């Protein structure tokens, strides 16, 4: 699908977006190693994923024209206080919008917001099979720091988890 850059807009996730975002995420649960989530989730779990409790973290619905086509967020990496300056970044798009430049635009939008919120380090945790996502993060200045071998198990096989990092 061809999308013009000016057609892509971001807005903070609103309640009316959550059911559409759930459908996007359910696609990844059912069909992809883009998430290590196996069990399907409901609307309440999706709401918790995309509406961070801490105001320093943000989630945005992504639109191509008027169509909801995904979401992007940075959220708490770990509970321990020493991790308070580190956040995990996530981008999920409808399958037909992958590879259209939306991920790059999402990173360009999220990174300054995270920095202004006091985040020093952004991490992207990506399945080794998701080569397009790994390429996106590398093109955007993220460095591959490690590959955790066979830490996930989905669709009857073991999966590696690549960790990419960027200081902002």
CA 48, 83, 36, 136 dihedral sign is positive
Whole-structure pTM value: 0.92
Per-residue pLDDT of the chain (168 residues; tens, 9 = 90+): 556 666 999 999 999 999 999 999 999 999 999 999 999 999 999 998 898 776 678 999 999 999 999 999 999 898 899 999 999 999 999 999 988 899 999 999 999 999 999 999 999 999 999 999 999 999 999 999 999 999 999 999 999 999 999 999
**In the chain, at which residue ranges do the beta strands (DSSP E only) sit?**
8-12, 58-64, 67-76, 86-93, 121-127, 143-154, 157-167
Closest CA to 122 of 71, 159, 72: 72
What pLDDT sits at residue 6?
66
- Domain of 17, CATH number, reads 3.40.630.30
Query: Tell me, what's the pLDDT at 4?
Result: 64
Structurally, the chain folds into a number of domains equal to 1
Give the pLDDT confidence score for residue 80 in this predicted structure: 92
pLDDT the model gives residue 135: 96
61 phi, psi to nearest 5 deg = -80, 145
Q: Is residue 164 classed as helix, strand or coil in its secondary structure?
A: strand
**What is the domain extent for residue 35?**
5-167
Query: How many whole angstroms from its chain centre is CA 136?
Result: 12
β-pair type (121-127, 67-76): unpaired
């Amino acid at each position: 699908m061809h999308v013009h850059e000016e057609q892509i807009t971001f807005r903070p996730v609103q309640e009316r977006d959550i059911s559409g975002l759930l459908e996007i995420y359910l696609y990844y649960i059912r069909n992809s190693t883009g998430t290590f989530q196996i069990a399907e989730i409901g609307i309440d779990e999706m709401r918790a994923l995309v509406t961070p409790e801490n105001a320093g973290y943000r989630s945005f619905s992504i639109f191509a024209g008027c169509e909801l086509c995904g979401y992007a967020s940075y959220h708490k990496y770990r509970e321990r206080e020493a991790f308070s300056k580190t956040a995990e970044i996530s981008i999920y798009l409808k399958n037909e919008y992958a590879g259209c430049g939306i991920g790059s635009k999402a990173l360009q939008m999220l990174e300054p917001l995270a920095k202004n919120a006091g985040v020093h380090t952004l991490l992207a945790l990506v399945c080794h099979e998701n080569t397009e996502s790994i390429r996106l993060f590398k093109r955007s200045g993220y460095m591959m720091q490690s590959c955790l071998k066979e830490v996930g198990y989905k669709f009857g096989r073991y999966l590696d988890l690549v960790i990419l990092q960027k200081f902002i």
